[in-house]
């Protein structure tokens, strides 16, 4: 509104022919345009998403509990879908209750120890060291890609190169 007012005043004083006032109004117009540019810059920079920043800075390290899995396997030319929905908050309740403990052991290298829940306790299953290359890594001989990594969620997929199966796993930190 201020800029519009300055613009109207500038036109009025230009028609009156006063050079001194014309110079002042041009200065006000320049200041008004600078303020508009600052406001526009603030608006654009404040539109970034906090989730995007968290995905970039989140650490792979920690204890991750299996929360959901889905995918398909190819049987006799047909895709057979599958899904699992374990309850990480109550591992006794369902099958497929597993967790991973991930520790950084070197530059882009992580040790993954897996556990399964049985007879009221977490049982050690196996360990493997992976090398993270961007968002890709090899785990248990499979090519994996991280789809989402935040401070609370890890989602990765396994795509079999010959198209025989597809798996997507969701883990959470509690």
Classified as helix, coil or strand, 15 is helix
Q: Ranked by mean pLDDT, which of 37-51, 52-66, 114-128 comes out on top? A: 114-128
Domain ranges of the chain: 2-45, 54-172
Its pTM stands at 0.65
Average pLDDT of the residues in 8-23: 52
Report phi then psi at 155, rounded to 5. Answer: -125, 125
17-55 residue pLDDT tens: 555 555 555 555 556 555 555 555 545 454 544 444 334
Helix (H) or strand (E) holding 165: strand 165-172
Helix (H) or strand (E) holding 44: helix 19-45
Per CATH, the number for 54-172 is 2.40.128.20
Query: Which pairs count as long-range contacts for 138-145, CB under 8 Å and 24+ apart, including other chains?
Result: 139/112
Residue whose entry in the numeric block shows the structure tokens 């299996």 = 66
Structure-model confidence comparison of residues 96 and 33, the more confident one: 96
Mean pLDDT of 149-168: 94
Average pLDDT over every residue of 3-18? 51
Position 174 scores a pLDDT of: 87
């Amino acid at each position: 509104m201020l800029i519009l007012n300055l613009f109207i005043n500038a036109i009025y004083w230009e028609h009156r022919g006063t050079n001194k006032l014309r110079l002042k109004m041009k200065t006000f117009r320049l200041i008004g345009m600078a303020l508009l540019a600052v406001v526009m810059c603030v608006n654009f920079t404040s539109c970034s998403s906090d989730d995007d920043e968290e995905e970039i800075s989140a650490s792979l390290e920690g204890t991750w509990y299996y929360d959901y899995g889905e995918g398909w396997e190819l049987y006799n030319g047909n895709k057979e879908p599958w899904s699992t929905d374990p309850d990480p908050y109550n591992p006794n309740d369902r099958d497929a209750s597993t967790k991973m403990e991930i520790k950084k052991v070197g530059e882009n290298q992580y040790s993954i120890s897996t556990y399964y829940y049985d007879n009221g306790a977490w049982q050690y299953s196996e360990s493997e060291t992976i090398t993270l290359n961007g968002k890709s890594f090899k785990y248990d001989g499979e090519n994996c890609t991280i789809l989402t990594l935040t401070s609370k969620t890890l989602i990765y997929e396994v795509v079999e190169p010959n198209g025989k199966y597809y798996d997507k796993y969701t883990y959470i930190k509690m």
